[in-house]
């Protein structure tokens, strides 16, 4: 399932939260309260992860893989309930959501899915709290 409506689109949710706390340099997102579907684990995979890396980490085969860049996947009881991919164009300024991390991949539980948000240009930068 990939979110199409603004209510479930990852970038739209991040953007809306940024607008709510504009001017606040300590703006925090808690995805446990922001996503409108049931989930228990949030996974991030950078563009440096191969399909094999992702499949090994998930424990099952990811369908419809495109080698495009970063992605976030929400799981519920081991099944994908939402995913978002970002297409990167190195020749253009970044847009969308960017996870600021040195890790190629990470997983967080619903209770630990808290991030600080900052905006630069047309990109929203998330840093794990």
pTM for this prediction = 0.89
Q: pLDDT at position 7, please? A: 58
DSSP 53: H
Q: pLDDT at position 88, please? A: 78
How many other β-carbons are positioned within 10 Å of the β-carbon of residue 10?
Answer: 23
Beta strand ranges found along the chain (DSSP E):
28-30, 41-45, 71-76, 79-85, 95-99, 105-109, 114-120, 122-128
Distance, CA of 74 to CA of 95 (rounded, Å)? 21
Consecutive 10-residue runs of the chain (129 residues): their mean pLDDT? 57 92 84 95 94 93 80 96 88 91 96 95 94
């Amino acid at each position: 399932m990939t979110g199409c409506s603004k209510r479930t689109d990852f970038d739209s949710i991040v953007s809306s939260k940024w607008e709510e706390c504009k001017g606040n340099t300590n703006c925090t997102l808690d995805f446990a309260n922001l996503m409108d579907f049931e989930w228990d684990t949030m996974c991030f995979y950078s563009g440096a992860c191969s399909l094999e890396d992702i499949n090994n980490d998930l424990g099952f085969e990811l369908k419809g893989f495109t080698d495009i860049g970063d992605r976030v996947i929400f799981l519920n009881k081991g099944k994908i309930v939402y995913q978002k991919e970002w297409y990167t164009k190195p020749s253009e300024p970044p847009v969308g959501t960017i996870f600021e991390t040195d890790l190629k991949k990470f997983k967080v539980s619903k209770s630990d899915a808290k991030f600080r948000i900052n905006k630069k240009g047309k990109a929203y930068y998330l840093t794990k709290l």
